[in-house]
A and B are shown apart, each in its own frame.
Chain A
Amino acid sequence: MTTKARGSDLGWVASQLADPKVRLEFDRERASEEFVDQLDAALQSGGISRATLAGTLGRSRAFITQTLRRRANLTIKTMAELAGACGYELHIALLPRGAGTGPVWSEPQSQWSVVRCEPRQPMPSAYVLDDTLLCCPMAIEGVPIGQHSNPWSFETSCQLDLH
C-alpha cells in the first residue's frame, strides 16, 4: 500500500501522475480519448451514421465501431481522414504540462468558446460551451477577459461569474 498517498491529502490521481511511466501512458490515453470523443460528437452533431462514415472512407463498419470504442490504434493519417469525412480538420496542439491531468476535450474545439487569460497565461485557460465552464486546467487569478462576447470574469477557484 502506498501509505504516503493514502495518508496525505494529495489524492490517488495526483500521486499516480507523479510517476513518469503512468504520466506518459495517461498522456497517450488522453490524446486518443480526446480524438474519439470529438469524432463521436462530430458524427452526432452532423447527423452522420457510422455506416455513412464507413462508406465515405471505404472502410468496414467494424473498423468505425472499433475506432469509437477506442480499440483501434490510429495513425495521424487515419485520424485526418476520419475528421475530414465529418467536415473537420485535424489539429494537434501542445499544451504546457501541469501537475494535474490538464483539460480533457470531449467536443470538437470549433464548438468551444476559448477564453484566454492574458497576459499571465499564454495558452487557453478555460473552455466554455453554452455558457457553462466545462474545464479549467489551472487556477487563475481574476483577470477580465476580452475575447469572449459575454462579460466573463474569473475567480481564483475557477468559478465563472456572469455580470
Chain B
Amino acid sequence: MGQLPPSDTLSAPVQVGLARTIVAYRDESGAVPALDFLDGCDAKTKARYILKFTKMCDFGRLRGEDYHLLDAKKGVKEADGLSEFKDIASKSRILAMNDGKRARLVLLHGFGGKKEDRIKPQEILIADRRRQDYLSRSEREISQSNYGRQT
C-alpha cells in the first residue's frame, strides 16, 4: 500500500490505497471545505463516504452511481474535468478533480440537499474556483521547488 501524502498548504490527506490517493483541497486560510462538509454529516453518511473513498483508492474505480465525471455539455462549461462522489441516501455530493502531476484525486466541495441529478451551477462554480486556486498555487510550488534545485 502507498503512503498518505503529508498534510501541506495545498491539501489535507484523506485516504490512500493501491490504486489511488485522495486528498482534500486546502485554501490559503488553512480551511479544508470538503472535510468541513463531511465532518458535519451524520455517522452513516460518513461511513458511506469512507467506503466510497476506500474502494476508489483500492480499486481505482467505483460504480457510476457512486462516482462519475461531470458532463460539461449538459450544464456549465466549468464542469469540464470535475467529477463527483454521490451519496444517494443523504442526497449529498462531493465534487473532485484529478491532479495528474501529483497523482491525486482532490476533493474540492461538498454539499447536500440534492434530490435531482442536475447540480446547481453555483456549486460547480465554487468547485471550479477552488480548482483554479489549487492549480495556480500548485504550479507556484512546483516552479519554486525547481528554482530552488537549480540555484
Query: Does B59 contact A106, Cβ atoms closer than 8 Å?
Result: yes
B39 / chain A contacts, CB cutoff of 8 Å: 1-2
Query: Does B1 contact A158, Cβ atoms closer than 8 Å?
Result: yes
With an 8 A cutoff between CB atoms, is B117 at the interface? no
B65 vs chain A, min Cβ distance (A):
7
B: number of interface residues (CB 8 Å): 36
A133 / chain B contacts, CB cutoff of 8 Å: 18
A27 vs chain B, min Cβ distance (A):
8
Residue with the highest number of chain A CB atoms closer than 10 Å, among B26, B39, B65: B39
A109 vs chain B, min Cβ distance (A):
16
Query: Does B6 contact A19, Cβ atoms closer than 8 Å?
Result: no
Query: Does B1 contact A136, Cβ atoms closer than 8 Å?
Result: yes
Chain B interface, DSSP helix/strand/loop, else mixed: mixed
With an 8 A cutoff between CB atoms, is A99 at the interface? no
> Once the chains are docked, how many angstroms separate the CA of A55 from the CA of B105?
42
With an 8 A cutoff between CB atoms, is B76 at the interface? no
A106 / chain B contacts, CB cutoff of 8 Å: 55, 59
B24 / chain A contacts, CB cutoff of 8 Å: 12
A: number of interface residues (CB 8 Å): 36
> Once the chains are docked, how many angstroms separate the CA of A7 from the CA of B32?
11
With an 8 A cutoff between CB atoms, is A157 at the interface? yes
Query: Does A9 contact B6, Cβ atoms closer than 8 Å?
Result: yes
Beyond A6-B32, A136-B18, whether A33 also contacts B51 by CB under 8 A is yes
> Once the chains are docked, how many angstroms separate the CA of A108 from the CA of B108?
34
> Once the chains are docked, how many angstroms separate the CA of A136 from the CA of B26?
30
> Once the chains are docked, how many angstroms separate the CA of A117 from the CA of B13?
30
A46 vs chain B, min Cβ distance (A):
19
Chain A, 1-53, CB within 8 A of any chain B CB: 1-2, 5-14, 16-17, 19, 21-22, 24-26, 28-30, 33
Residue pairs across A and B with Cβ atoms less than 8 A apart, 24 shown, are A1-B36, A1-B39, A11-B4, A11-B13, A11-B14, A12-B15, A12-B24, A12-B35, A14-B15, A21-B43, A22-B46, A22-B47, A22-B50, A25-B47, A26-B46, A29-B48, A30-B51, A33-B51, A69-B65, A101-B54, A104-B58, A139-B1, A157-B1, A158-B18
Interface on A for B, CB 8 Å cutoff?
A: 1-2, 5-14, 16-17, 19, 21-22, 24-26, 28-30, 33, 69, 71, 101, 104, 106, 133-136, 139, 157-158
